[in-house]
Structure 1
């Protein structure tokens, strides 16, 4: 947002925004257990990897979680503290943060901004496509505005994939063997008058055949049940969501969403580039939908073609996007295949997962001996979607830890580890003392417009 000159406060007001410093996972390893994926991280102290210091301290009796040991975010979230103060510069804060936003309002906001900057906006239905002799699309035919010609087309038609999938026939690679969830049902729950406990984090709560998201916005809360249709029908899924919401669900409409999980073999074919759902989708457990759109746009900016450069740019773009989707698939799969739950058929199938991707299985085998290093991640197609610290948050949260230390780890100074974590605890208190209440800061931002 900062890159394209969007004011942070204006953006938050227009999109019903709140701050997001972490994701909390409830019940994914065992019922009743909670772990965090924070957005901040401290990876090294005195050239020692924090994860190794934490493991050594843990073996010596340290009780703190890995997330609490290396990040301030979980404790700030538990106290409902904002990640920044009103005096911070836009897009800067005490800790790293993202946003909870109304995506429909975001779309309208960006549409209006584009029009202000000279973009021509046409609302219409595409009825047909025209091709040249080499198979490139020359124009799309519309119901009300005739033919719209172009040199490069960006397919943003959602799961329908009208240009990449339908017109060009690009094959789709399903991820359903690795990721079982293929449906969602969502509701918009108005916030009660005077609600003050708006969480500065997303909550993902494991259910009998999937999980429920809880995304707190300024004026409402978005909830949705992501589930496997092989383990639960749509009526039961909707009822589970209504039970989760409680009495506030009365009179609210539920929106059922079939999800096409996977990616197109190629995201850029001929002169068509797919972005978002048209090129692929992975369930929103780690909020990667908008992230993948941003990655795609950044890559397209860096590879914006002439006609002569279209083919080599497309080849490189496809390699990058395929790597991102496959990495995120593996990262999401870790939340399921590492579970200890066997209390329902769904969790039994997750626990006894028979289709872990080879790319993930190789890493999990390595990580049985030690936790994740940046050297384990694939940089051949650009910067990985997630850092080594993020992988370690998942492994630690799911208690998938090495059995014993490697020789290099045995050389770590246990006294240093204890001192580091004591200092971290003091540092958290110092930052928390500066942070305002989340709702107080939101009120200040939203009432300023």
Structure 2
């Protein structure tokens, strides 16, 4: 009898957002194929709650929802979701003379690729912020306006946008979508044991009620416990705590004081003594949390910082403590086991990288699963190279925020700027960009998570100094840049008469939905 050389069964172990994202991407991929589908089953424990770390997304989530066939109006209604146009950073640049320094990392890209050059060549004393000079979005977001008209079709807007969402409710939407559209199997049961074959492959997982489950490929979505990839397969974890210091979070749900309170259209990120506080407005509540370094703050002090931020209106007893393991798996794909989600890696929730990486790697996995089992080791090697590269680029971008901040008012901020904690790859970028503007050729991979424009918003939002010397300024180019400023002002004036307050937009979507075309 010939040896089996085809993947016919995939078992996802663990649910939550990561598990159900993987299930949807796998289901979508195989439902689109001609011929017999690969059987995909997800097993999750009925006794493990969804952690729900991070309630922010990036604009790529719009494409994911569209790709998976999830109605945007239904998504907003079901996930307590709101729109997100940016991350607004407060006090990341410390200046005793200037309280509440802030800047936006926008989702709209600058109007032209050379806007940064002409912005730099404009007198620092007379120019507006970088974000205000290259886009309409920060002004509209600060005005409390939503990014789209309720009459616009799904996934289209006046400005680019992502979402804030309730992670637990999002997991449920993903679950229903996977089961109804793609015919996946779902088992509620506890995994008791993982058995390896002599070759080192996973052969079965033993369950409490369903006996032993076999598969050709096992997806580990068991979170920080990493039941398959670490405990069974012994794949090491690459700890990046020496680069990114924050390793703990306090999270709390905060009800609105009044039902008509305005809902910010951005994630608010406020720097504190040993980390930063996120503040996210959902439909019925705010999600607030303090991400901090346990090496630079005690839990008691962290609770005090968060309590003061909330004006003492929430009892510290309601704070949920979340320890975080910062880094990534040495190999996300080992033999016939692939780690997706927290089992594969995690960095702090700054810039909403959690859901972003889980989504990207889930789709990459679905599109890379080999036709033959004999090719799995080759596919795994390439998958691992791309995944490690992705994590390192994400870490560079997150670390940039701390290095460029120029804060040195506490040990946490000073330590973040020490040479030993900065990756060589980021040092090289910053050294180059001290005299040359970032350009598109610095970002050449098709899997870039953060691109030129993302770096520009952060660098120049935090007053990073690029010395362009005596670079000549083209009169035509400068005239074009000044013309863009007028267009931005005109667009803002027009948009303010058309767009409505964010909460009113959300309420209309709850009432009417969003038209498909």
| Aligned counterpart for 2:437 among listed residues 368, 371, 374 | 371
Tell me the CA shift for residue 406 of structure 1: 6.1
State the distance in 2 between where 1:162 and 1:93 align. Answer: 42
Contact 2:88 / 2:269 at 8 angstroms: preserved in 1? yes
Partner SS state of residue 322, structure 1: helix
The answer as to 2:269 corresponding to 1:204 is yes
Partner SS state of residue 171, structure 2: helix
Equivalence for 2:226? 161
Tell me the CA shift for residue 376 of structure 1: 1.0
The answer as to 2:139 corresponding to 1:64 is no
Partner SS state of residue 122, structure 2: helix
Equivalence for 1:27? 91
State the distance in 2 between where 1:199 and 1:323 align. Answer: 34
The answer as to 2:100 corresponding to 1:36 is no
State the distance in 2 between where 1:219 and 1:360 align. Answer: 40
Tell me the CA shift for residue 270 of structure 1: 0.7
Residue correspondences, number: 443
The answer as to 2:146 corresponding to 1:78 is no
Match runs of 1:47-446 below 5 Å? 49-59=114-124, 61-117=125-181, 118-250=183-315, 253-305=318-370, 306-379=372-445, 382-405=446-469, 407=471, 413-446=477-510
State the distance in 2 between where 1:413 and 1:233 align. Answer: 53
TM-score, length basis structure 1 = 0.94
Tell me the CA shift for residue 361 of structure 1: 0.6
**Which string of whole-angstrom CA distances, capped at 9 and with x for unpartnered residues, describes residues 383-435 of structure 1?**
31111011011110121121234636577743332222222222222233321
Tell me the CA shift for residue 143 of structure 1: 2.1
Instruction: Point out where structure 2 has 5 or more consecutive residues left out of the alignment.
Output: 1-64
Tell me the CA shift for residue 252 of structure 1: 5.9
Partner SS state of residue 412, structure 2: helix
**Which string of whole-angstrom CA distances, capped at 9 and with x for unpartnered residues, describes residues 5-48 of structure 1?**
1000111111100000000000111152101100001252xxx6
State the distance in 2 between where 1:408 and 1:164 align. Answer: 55
Instruction: Point out where structure 1 has 5 or more consecutive residues left out of the alignment.
Output: none
Contact 1:14 / 1:105 at 8 angstroms: preserved in 2? yes
State the distance in 1 between where 2:507 and 2:471 align. Answer: 53
State the distance in 1 between where 2:312 and 2:498 align. Answer: 37
Query: For the structure 1 residues 168 and 408, does the alpha-carbon distance in structure 2 shift closer, same or farther, using more than 3 Å as the test?
Result: farther
Contact 1:369 / 1:406 at 8 angstroms: preserved in 2? no
State the distance in 2 between where 1:34 and 1:374 align. Answer: 26
Tell me the CA shift for residue 74 of structure 1: 0.7
Query: For the structure 1 residues 43 and 408, does the alpha-carbon distance in structure 2 shift closer, same or farther, using more than 3 Å as the test?
Result: farther
**Which string of whole-angstrom CA distances, capped at 9 and with x for unpartnered residues, describes residues 53-74 of structure 1?**
2111245x54211111122211
Equivalence for 2:60? none
User: What is the RMSD of the two structures over their aligned residues, measured on CA atoms?
Assistant: 1.8
Query: For the structure 1 residues 409 and 178, does the alpha-carbon distance in structure 2 shift closer, same or farther, using more than 3 Å as the test?
Result: farther
Contact 1:184 / 1:256 at 8 angstroms: preserved in 2? yes
State the distance in 2 between where 1:394 and 1:411 align. Answer: 28
TM-score, length basis structure 2 = 0.82
State the distance in 1 between where 2:152 and 2:168 align. Answer: 28
Contact 2:235 / 2:329 at 8 angstroms: preserved in 1? yes
State the distance in 2 between where 1:195 and 1:179 align. Answer: 38
